[in-house]
Amino acid sequence: MPFPLRTAALVATCVACVCAASAKDGDDDSGATSQSDATPSIYLDMKSSYVSLPAGALPIGLGNSALFPNLQGVLLANGTALPHPSGISLPAIQGAVVDLPLTIDVTDRVSLYAGVSASSISTPVSDWSTPAITSWNIGFQADLYKQDGGSIPTITWQPTITQSVPNSSPLSTTIFTNILEFDYAFDKDETRGLLAGVQDTRVSLNTALANIHPSTIGYVGGYYQWPNNWKFTGRLGVQSFGGAELLNFTPVHPLTQPVARFDLDRMDDNDNRLFGVMLEIMWMPKPAYQLTLRTPLYFARN
């Protein structure tokens, strides 16, 4: 079975298992199920990102590899990649990406999402490319264990499959991202707490002549939510990337460098996100930046 189908089948199986486990937990709880659990939230979790990437780097980040599906555009840069003594070097790029995943919060523990992304890029020697859909994605986020005032932190798993569009080029990518995060809340309302997690990113190309090695990010952080429902979350970590060999391009060297991500979100009284802004800084070893605005469009909301 081809890689995309294998991973899609894996995600579908995991979703079914997690939903079944969540339903069983709900049956074991005393009392009736709350109305908020019975009515899922459905929304378009729109994310608009600007990315600035230094020359010689690939866009792997914490939580969202925004430009990776447009790898062919990143590498070819409209035919204007920069010459290098040992090959063709990767140019510095700027990118604009819009992610449109349709998201369903099945319960307060399980969310499913699937959608498309569109992007446009520019380099020092080329204008902005025509915006186009460059990928689709599917995944879920599930609390494998809920703290609920206890001493063991909440454990959250988030796998995502991203497939570039079109997928017939040798540089077409299939990306499998896994995030496992631990959340220890200091109060019952979970308005302040500590975070720790790990993200594993694997990239498959349509050619045996190029190879992108895995990327692993380990991080720690914390969050605080004020009484007016503004919430700040910070994560600091280290990214270990095995490098890449890409056709006739100069190899992307392995690196172990810091990464930081800061989120500021406006929530409602039921912890639905109304607005969010995220800033991420990745050293490769020169810094790369990603600024993202989250403006969810709700069709149904608890």
Q: Is the dihedral of CA 96, 288, 184, 17 positive or negative?
A: positive
What pLDDT score was predicted for residue 187?
Answer: 94
**Distances, alpha carbon 101 to alpha carbons 160, 180, 291, in Å:** 11, 20, 18
CATH code where residue 54 lies: 2.40.160.40
Report residue 36's pLDDT band, with 50, 70 and 90 as the boundaries: very low
How does pLDDT run across 49-91, given as a tens digit for each residue? 998 888 877 777 666 555 555 555 555 443 444 455 555 677 7
Q: What confidence score (pLDDT) does residue 71 get?
A: 55
pLDDT of residue 274: 96
Say yes or no to pLDDT of 219 above 70: yes
* 124: number of Cβ within 10 Å: 12
Contact (Cβ atoms closer than 8 angstroms) between residue 48 and residue 292:
yes
What are the distances in angstroms from CA 104 to CA 43, 114, 162? 7, 9, 18
Q: Are 257 and 239 in contact (CB under 8 A)?
A: yes
Q: How confident is the model at residue 122 (pLDDT cuts 50, 70, 90)?
A: confident
Residue 120: inside a domain, yes or no? yes
Contact 130, 121 (CB under 8 A): no
Q: Quick check: is 32 in a domain?
A: no
Look at residue 34 and tell me if it is in a domain.
no
CB atoms within 10 A of CB 177: 22
- pLDDT for 171 equals 73
Q: Is residue 210 part of a domain?
A: yes
d(CA 153, CA 195): 9
**For the residues 136-153, what does the mean pLDDT come to?**
94
Report, as an integer, the average pLDDT of 154-171. Answer: 87
> In 3D, which of 196, 139, 165, 177 has the Cα closest to residue 59?
177
HSE-up of residue 77 (Cα within 13 Å, Cβ side): 23
The string of pLDDT tens digits covering residues 223-260 is 999 999 999 999 999 999 998 887 777 778 899 999 99
Q: What is the pLDDT of residue 186?
A: 96
Give the per-residue pLDDT at 2: 47
- Dig out the tokens for 163 from the structure: 């497939």
Q: Is residue 33 part of a domain?
A: no
Question: Whole-angstrom Cα distance, residue 14 to residue 19?
Answer: 8
Identify the band that residue 115 occupies on the pLDDT scale cut at 50, 70 and 90. very high
Let me know: does 220 contact 194? Beta carbons within 8 Å. Answer: yes
Q: Would 88 be classed as within a structural domain?
A: yes
**Percent of the chain's residues with pLDDT above 90:** 45
What is the reported pLDDT for 165?
Answer: 84
Give the model's pLDDT for residue 232.
98
**Percentage, residues of the chain above pLDDT 70:** 76
How far apart, in whole angstroms, are the C-alpha atoms of residue 145 and residue 183?
10
Q: Which domain holds residue 211?
A: 3-26+39-300
15: which 2 tokens? 């979703």
pLDDT at 301 over 80: yes
Q: What is the domain count for the chain?
A: 1
Q: Is residue 97 part of a domain?
A: yes
In DSSP notation, 60-83 reads: --SS--TTGGGHHHHHHGGGTPEE
- pLDDT number for residue 4: 44
Q: What is the pLDDT of residue 194?
A: 98
* Structural element, H or E, at residue 25: helix 3-28
Vertex 69: Cα angle to 60 and 54 (nearest 5):
45
Q: Is residue 277 part of a domain?
A: yes
pLDDT of residue 62: 65
Task: Check residue 170 and report its DSSP letter.
Answer: T
Mean pLDDT of the chain: 82
Q: Mean pLDDT throughout 35-59?
A: 82
Render pLDDT for 186-208 as a digit per residue (tens, 0 to 9).
999 999 999 999 999 998 888 88
Q: If DSSP codes are grouped into helix, strand and coil, which group holds residue 153?
A: coil
